[in-house]
Chain A
Amino acid sequence: MNAKKKVIAMLLAGGQGSRLYALTQNVAKPAVPYGGKYRIIDFALSNCTNSGIDTVGVLTQYQPLVLNEYIGNGQPWDLDRMYGGVHVLSPFETKEGADWFQGTANAIYQNMRFIERYDPEYVIVLGGDHIYKMDYSKMVEYHEQNKADGTIAVIDVPMEEASRFGIMTCDAENRVVRFTEKPKEPESTLASMGIYCFTWAKLKKYLIENENANTGSKDFGKDIIPAMLGNGERLFAYTFDGYWKDVGTLDSLWEANMDLLSPSVPLDLYDPKWKIYARHNNMPPQFIGKNAKIENSMITEGSNINGEVDFSIVFSGVTIEEGAVVNYSILMPGTVVKSGAVVEYAIVGENCVVESGAKIGISPENIENRDDWGIAVVGHNVTISGSAVIKPKAIISENV
């Protein structure tokens, strides 16, 4: 019998990410590439390992193949452990039958036996679709200090956006008084980040009750938190003041990438004390050719750049030929942009080929009606022929 773990993390990575359309056709949202050499889930996994949490359950159910292979034994995040480490948890069949995960609470409920194996004091519940750097150990410390039953990480959002979130109303001690999902008239601007720390014994009780009550939603925000508040459990808000971005839509994914190029955005990928880890493929350093022009961009190893790149994020193994122009765009791993092609305000998926002469996207300044403008998106493994013009807002998932 191994020693118990004080804290373990449960990472909800089942999200289909349907609003990322072509980018999540065959991969779960947490496996979508971000920031030049990462996938979205790298942030939550790196936060765990940097916070000293060495046991993580990753709950998947939508298109888990890529995600499973990506996580593997967890070695890139230092989560290959003799005891604990990272475990991918998929829905399974029991004597009573088999069920898909029905809601966030149900997903944890179905994996209670995994949690119990480590007999933890605290369980951290995380989403796999946000970009942020956060020390969960500080949240656990805060939770302990407050003798809390549950602690919810919150971030101050602008009042006009508050109705998109779950909003906390707190007393002077930061104890949560009320919680409202997407309120029409928000009482405060403290939005839940979907990051929770629970005292396991308490959470277990509420998970079982929720399962038996069969509410239909079986969700943390809709069921567990309100039930705990209703019973007067000690719930506290833990305020986070760093960079935090949801990447659930194509626009927000594009923005979150562009944020990396802004000097005023506090998301440092180069901090040796808080590295973001990712699974690597062995590629030589990037080569920048004689006639390349690169400004204000991020480019990753294995790339071969001979064209013009401005305000863009270029992933590993990308080729941009001489005479090609890439502006305000995201090029995912292995994509080739041939000479004479122009890619602007676009997301181009993995292993695409943009043939000479093709045009993808357009600058918002060059469009008459601003309502017609948006990011152009090309899914994975797509070839864009030389005569093709991909309009803004278009989402392409097959060769054109």
Chain B
Amino acid sequence: MGVKNNVLGLIFASLHDSTVVELTKQRTMGSIMFGGRYRLIDFPLSNMVNSGITEVGVITKSNYGSLLDHLGTGREWDLSRKKGGLHLLPPFSQNIGDGVYRGRLEALNNVWNYVQHSSAEYVILADCDYVCSINFENVLKQHIETGADITAVYGRFRYTEESGACVDVLEMDAEKRIKSVLIDPQIAGDCNICLDMYVMRKDLLAKLVKDAVSRNKYSLIRDCLQAKVDELKLMGYEFDGYFSRIDSVKSYFEANMALLQPENRAALFQPNAPIYTKIGDNGPVKYGLDAKVSNSLIADGCIIEGTVENCILFRGVKVGKGSIVRDCILMQGTTIGNNCALTAVITDKNVEATEGRVLTGSDSYPLYIGKNAKI
């Protein structure tokens, strides 16, 4: 069964916005910058494209200006098409109040006209809070072979108390049939966490959405997976590759820093499955006479004249002479003047640190500096 023209991809760009409030103040979860030149939505979107999906709808909620700007016509993902292609789906207020939804099912109901219009037989749903490189063709293959109603992608994860809120854990039998769904459980140890990616037939999704809305229900996980665990055949698909989850500023920091490990980069940026993103047309990185750079991931357009260690530098960052930047994430357009010292700092877009500033965060709590701030 080929994926092409038979699968509709649906990405929820705004779910989980509330988990990283600092970063989503002026943007959606999907447009959070990641890994030097990407935004989180680039990962699910590229995964879909690399799996042969040519029709993708992106469901947003609010503050989606940056997302609109980033995705444009979808050309960079090869999704600027006459047939299918990329569709941005802002909240639509035909059915409920102001069009702002509470959960996946309600969001889908809002944009159901679009989903219905697609001739695809299957849908793949994904969120923007997991960063990974996954091939959905394999998920669909397993889904069809096992005759599942819904297949949920899960990953192995060591769960501790600090692992954060709203993690959904799947319990399965030997055949990977899901027996129970635990929402934000109080457990510890190895478990199977749901990676918020689901495959099902479109007609089943239609039924679930209409059924839920008529009963004032809205949550896919609570009202469909958890409630119908016996009624429907729910299967798990194990993703055994590298993934990271963004659910706090701390985990955002760690997920970025994890890219300094070569094996993680190799897993995420595979030559035959590139991660596409908006092109910036920046020049190459320029290293000055006294530049000292080590163990860092640096995007094009940066001009570095100081010392940079263990950092992620986004496009167009400038580090002045005599400055020392360690364990930092500096987002697009950040300018660090001369003789500054930054440790464990996350700067949002276009932050400017003037000459001689000293800013220090800690490993467990990196210092976050908001967009356009001048220090």
Binds A, one of B14-22, B172-180, B181-189, B292-300: B292-300
**Contact of A296 with B303 in the complex, beta carbons under 8 Å:** no
- A308-338 near B? 1/0 per residue, CB < 8 Å: 0100011000000000000000000000000
Q: Is B300 touching A300 in the complex (CB atoms < 8 A)?
A: yes
Q: Are B295 and A290 in contact (CB under 8 A)?
A: yes
B299 pairs with A285, CB closer than 8 A: yes
Most A-side CB within 10 Å, residue of B75, B298, B300: B300
Tell whether, in the assembled complex, residue B283 and residue A36 are in contact, meaning their CB atoms are under 8 Å apart.
yes
B69 within 8 A of A: no
Q: Mark A337-375, 1 if CB is under 8 A from B, else 0.
A: 000000000000000000000000000000000000000
A and B contact pairs by CB, cutoff 8 A, 25 listed: A37-B284, A37-B300, A76-B281, A269-B283, A269-B284, A270-B316, A282-B275, A282-B276, A285-B312, A286-B285, A286-B299, A287-B262, A287-B265, A288-B293, A288-B294, A288-B308, A290-B295, A292-B294, A294-B287, A294-B291, A295-B290, A296-B289, A297-B287, A299-B284, A301-B300
> Does chain A have a CB within 8 A of B85?
no
Q: Tell me the smallest distance from the CB of A79 to a CB of chain B, in Å.
A: 14
CB distance from A272 to the nearest CB of B (A): 9
CA distance A36 to B282 in the complex (A): 11
How many whole Å from A236's CB to the nearest CB in chain B?
A: 34
- Chain A residues contacting B289 (CB-CB under 8 Å) are 295-296
Q: Which residue of A lies closest to B289 (CB)?
A: A296
Q: Does A122 contact B (CB under 8 A)?
A: no
Contacts of A300 in B (CB 8 A): 284-285, 300
A252 CB-CB contact with B under 8 Å = no
Q: Which of A37, A76, A286, A293 has the most CB of B within 10 A?
A: A286
Q: Which residues of A contact B84 (CB under 8 A)?
A: none
| CB contact under 8 A between A270 and B281, given known A286-B297, A295-B290, A299-B287 | no
Do A298 and B281 touch across chains, with their CB atoms under 8 A apart? no
Using a CB–CB distance below 8 Å, which chain A residues touch chain B? 35-37, 75-76, 269-270, 275-278, 280, 282-301, 309, 313-314
Pair B295/A295 contact, Cβ less than 8 Å: no
Please name all residues of chain B whose beta carbon is closer than 8 Å to the beta carbon of A276 when the two chains form the complex.
281, 283
Q: Which residues of B contact A277 (CB under 8 A)?
A: 281
B47 at interface by CB-CB < 8 Å: no
Residues on B with C-beta less than 8 A from A288 are: 293-298, 308
With an 8 A cutoff between CB atoms, is B4 at the interface? no
A300 to B298, CA, bound (A): 9
The answer to whether B283 and A285 touch across the interface, beta carbons within 8 angstroms, is no
How many A-B pairs fall under 8 Å by CB? Answer: 104
- The 5 nearest A-B residue pairs measured at CB: A36-B284, A269-B283, A285-B36, A282-B274, A285-B299
CA of A282 to CA of B42, assembled, Å? 12
- Is B279 part of the contact surface with A, judged by Cβ < 8 Å? yes
B275 and A284 within 8 A (CB): yes
Q: Chain A nearest CB: distance from B131 CB in Å? A: 12
Are B303 and A294 in contact, with the CB atoms below 8 A?
A: no
Q: Does B269 contact A (CB under 8 A)?
A: yes
B228 contacts the other chain (CB 8 A): no
Complex contacts, A293 vs chain B, CB 8 Å: 292
The verdict on B236 contacting chain A, using a C-beta distance below 8 Å, is no
Of all chain A residues, the one with the shortest Cβ separation from B46 is A282
Within the assembled complex, what's the spacing in Å between the Cα atoms of A65 and B262? 36
Q: Is the CB of B287 within 8 A of A298?
A: yes
Q: Are B295 and A296 in contact (CB under 8 A)?
A: no
Chain B residue with the shortest CB-CB distance to A279:
B279
Is A287 within 8 A of B296, CB to CB? yes
- On whether the beta carbons of B300 and A285 are closer than 8 Å, the reply is yes
Min C-beta distance of A147 to chain B, whole Å: 37
What CA separation (Å) do A314 and B274 show in the bound complex?
Answer: 21
CA distance A282 to B316 in the complex (A): 17
Return B76 CB to nearest CB of chain A, in Å.
8
Within the assembled complex, what's the spacing in Å between the Cα atoms of A282 and B273?
Answer: 10
Q: Is B288 engaged at the interface, CB distance under 8 Å to the other chain? A: yes
Kindly name the residue among B36, B285, B299 whose own CB sees the greatest number of chain A CB atoms within 10 A: B285
Residues of chain A lying within 8 A (CB to CB) of residue B294: 288-292
- Inside 8 A of A37's CB, which chain B residues have their CB? 283-284, 300
Closest-CB distance, A155 to chain B (whole angstroms): 24
**Distance between B283 CB and nearest chain A CB, rounded to angstroms:** 3
Contacting residue for A285 out of B35, B262, B276, CB 8 A: B35
**New A-B pairs, 10, CB < 8 Å, besides A280-B279, A286-B285, A287-B260:** A35-B284, A76-B279, A285-B313, A288-B297, A289-B295, A290-B294, A293-B292, A295-B287, A298-B285, A314-B284
The distance in angstroms between the C-alpha atoms of A314 and B287, with both chains bound, is 11
Is B276 in contact with A292, judged by CB distance below 8 angstroms?
Answer: no
Hey, which chain B residues are within 8 Å of A284, CB to CB?
Answer: 35-37, 265, 268-269, 275, 297
Contact A292 B293 (CB under 8 A): yes
Tell me the complex Cα distance, A298–B282, Å: 12
In the complex, the chain B residue whose C-beta lies closest to that of A297 is B287
| A75, A288, A289 interface centre (most CB from chain B within 10 Å) | A288
B295 adjacent to A270 (CB under 8 Å): no
Instruction: Tell me if B281 and A286 are in contact (CB < 8 A).
Output: no
Complex Cα–Cα for A294 and B289 (A): 9
* A278 near B281: Cβ-Cβ < 8 Å: yes
Q: How far is the CA of A351 from the CA of B372 in the complex (A)?
A: 41
Residues of B within 8 A of A269 (CB): 283-284
Residues of chain B lying within 8 A (CB to CB) of residue A36: 283-284
